[in-house]
Amino acid sequence: MTRRLSPLLVALVGGIFLVLHLPVLVLVLYSFNSSRFAASWSGFTLHWYARLLERPDILRALRLSLTVATLSTLVATLLGTLLALGLSRRPFRGRRLIEGGLYLPIVTPEIVAGISLLILFVALRVPLGVGTVIVAHVAFTTPFVAVVVLARLRGMDRSLEEAALALGADEVTAFRRITLPLLAPGILAGALLAFTLSLDDFVITFFVAGPGSTTLPVLVYSMVRRGVEPTINAVSAVLVVLTTGTIALASRLGGTRGA
Amino acid sequence: MSSSPRRRLLAYFARRPAAGSWALLTPGLLWLAAFFAVPLVVLLAYSVMHRGTYWGVAPGFTLEHYRRFLDPLYLAIAWRTLWIALATTGLCLVLSYPVAYVIARAGRWRNILLFLVILPFWTSFLIRTYAIIVLLRGGGVVNSTLMGLGLTSAPLELLYTPGAVLAGLVYGYLPFMVLPIYASLERLDLDLVDAAEVLGARAFARFRRVILPLSLPGVAAGSLLVFIPSLGAFLTPDLLGGAKTMMLGNLVQNQFGPARNWPFGAAVSFALMGVVMVGLLAWLRVRDAEAAA
């Protein structure tokens, strides 16, 4: 049976939902505000979006963010999927330890992960740049991919794979023809997670990026530090649409809700 | 595709199943070892070395950087970090429980409501933090609304306070709490609640004695998922807190930045990692207990 919910409770929860969505809505709304001073509404404008096009640094940062996210997602998806496959086969000594250890990078404070990578790069005299950013992004997104793909593997019916092997397919063929297609939505969900995490990351990137490898979040951070201005609202609105659009589209394509 | 080397390779792995698993694991594990584990070991080594003259470290072994934590100045930061993380967890819990409860009972609205909980998550954390600045700053939306309503005559000092940090963290991590509680409420057998009602339990007693105990695994998982990142927060206190609301994450950055005391920064990192590890082990136990149930 479904119980009637008390109207008071529904109103309370409605209020919480409103507060949850208010900040981003206000931000997007004020990106169309013609006043420089965000609090007062003085008419609709696309001025701040036009200003974006005059800022080569913003466009460059956006392009760099997309490049970094694409390259690091490709590597992290490959490494993470291999990790998940290795962990999902027969039990072996040390499997639980490795699986538990995969959560360690996920829960490590980003500031600690970023700083420790920075001192490693400094100690080895590796020049900071796009390369170090991509290496760092692969390191912190790979465990997320592994966990997502592993969850999909655990929930999957393995009997089809066993049937293929029983019918004479070798392991490579069974994997390519049976396991991989069944696993594809999980891999796609993992890749999307990696892509958005990379696109959004500020803290780790902040430490391992050198001059000339400013990603969009790092640029937005320095703009915010300098003070609130409507151009940031416009950049934010673009980013909101970009990430939300990507995930919404892909979750529709992959049929994996809210991964 | 030449079949002969492939067949020999497969035959090799068929004889050694564990070798096959390790072959799959090796590339990822090597990457994580090189760019996650090794840096942490280097950081650990730095935390027991002497401070370099200008920056970096000098050789030698000392525990003085860990002892330095006992300085009241740093203890105060540690306590503030702890209470802000606890308060964030508590506030998230109080706000999330009714939300999760309503979603679990929402029937055909369920998927839409779940979608609405996850939606803000798809917006960058940095931008959501900036959105809080836009709302809370002196001439911001909240202040001008309050003044417009005649509730205050001058803008309130909302930004750069512990309250602002708390608001930012709760806003940032709320879905982490809603989703696990929802998952455990959704699985709850409503017949038990009906039985309690038939046996004469009033609404509050039904909640306290039946619904709440059965949803505790979700509450525990959600609390850890909020507590752990709150403890290591850096960006939120950095942008919303100002100097007086420094948390451990900011102390780490400060020691590697302007204060130029790398070993102490490394020691603070490990104090933070220690607490996070305890949280992770607790979470893994909760998860395994839930999977076994």
The pLDDT tens digits for A203-216 are 999 999 988 899 99
Instruction: Please answer yes or no on whether B43 and A116 come within 8 Å at the CB atom.
Output: yes
Q: Which domain holds residue A195?
A: 62-215
Query: Could you tell me if residue A116 is inside a domain?
Result: yes
The verdict on residue A175 lying in a domain is yes
- According to the model, what pLDDT value does residue A254 have? 57
Within a domain: A19: no
Q: How far is CA B71 from the centre of its chain?
A: 27
C-alpha B201/C-alpha B191 separation (Å) is: 14
For residue B231, the chain A residues in CB contact (below 8 A) are 109
- CA B72 to chain A, closest CA, distance in angstroms equals 23
CB contact under 8 A, B190 and A92: no
CB A240: neighbour CB atoms within 10 A? Answer: 22
B13 to chain A: nearest residue by CA? A171
Write the CA distances from A221 to A244, B159, B180, B245, integer angstroms: 20, 17, 31, 19
Asked whether residue A183 is domain-assigned, the answer is yes
Q: Look at residue B268 in the predicted model and tell me its pLDDT.
A: 95
Within 8 A of B174 by CB-CB distance, chain A residues are 20
Identify which of B14, B35, B116 has the shortest CB distance to residue A135: B35
Report phi then psi at A3, rounded to 5: -75, 145
Please report residues of B whose CB lies closer than 8 A to that of A247: 122
pLDDT classification of A258: cutoffs 50, 70, 90: very low
Q: Could you say which of A85, A93, A239 has the minimum Cβ distance to residue B127? A: A239
- For the stretch B151-166, pLDDT in tens is 888 888 888 899 999 9
Judging contacts by C-beta atoms under 8 Å, the chain B residues touching residue A239 are: 123-124, 127
Distance CA A55, CA B130 (A): 20
What is the model's pLDDT at position A257?
43
End-to-end Cα spacing for chain B: 48
CA distances from B71 to B65, B75, B194 (A): 10, 6, 56
Q: What is the CATH number of the domain that holds A148?
A: 1.10.3720.10
Task: Give mean pLDDT, residues A189-197.
Answer: 89
Round to whole Å and give the CA distance between A116 and A121.
Answer: 9
B117-152 in b/e burial notation, b at 16+ Cβ within 10 A? bbbbbbbbbbbbbbbbbbbbbeebbbbbebbeeeee
Provide Rg for chain B, Cα atoms.
25
Rounded distance, CA B23 to CA B105, Å? 47
Q: Which residue of B has its CA nearest to A6?
A: B102
Asked if the structure places residue A50 within a domain, the reply is no
Which of B174, B249, B280 lies at the smallest CB-CB distance from A20? B174
Q: Which stretches of chain B drop beneath a pLDDT of 50?
A: none
Model pLDDT, residue A249: 72
pLDDT of residue B278: 87
**pLDDT confidence of residue A1:** 39
Q: Give the count of Cβ contacts less than 8 A between chain A and B.
A: 245
Closest chain B residue to A91, measured at CA: B18
Residue A24 forms part of a structural domain: no
Q: Which of A22, A88, A119 to mutate to test the interface with B (most CBs of B within 10 A)?
A: A119
The whole-number pLDDT of residue A250 equals 67
**Measured in whole angstroms, how far is the alpha carbon of residue A202 from the centre of its chain?**
11
The answer to whether B87 and B233 have CB atoms below 8 angstroms apart is: no
Which run of H or E residues covers position B57? strand B57-58
* Whole-prediction pTM: 0.89
Residue A27 domain flag: no
**Which residues are A122's β-sheet partners?**
none
B229 or A246, which is more confident: B229
What's the mean pLDDT in A131-139?
97
What CATH class has B64-292?
mainly alpha
Structure token digits, residue B244? 């007086």
Ranges of each domain in chain B: 64-292
pLDDT at B214: 85
Q: Tell me whether residues B130 and A232 touch, CB distance under 8 A.
A: yes
Q: What is the pLDDT of residue A70?
A: 96
Who among B111, B134, B262 is closest to A228 (CB)? Answer: B134
Q: What is the mean pLDDT of chain A?
A: 87
Average pLDDT over residues A146-160: 88
Q: Measure CB to CB from residue A38 to each of B140, B174, B269 and give the nearest one.
A: B140
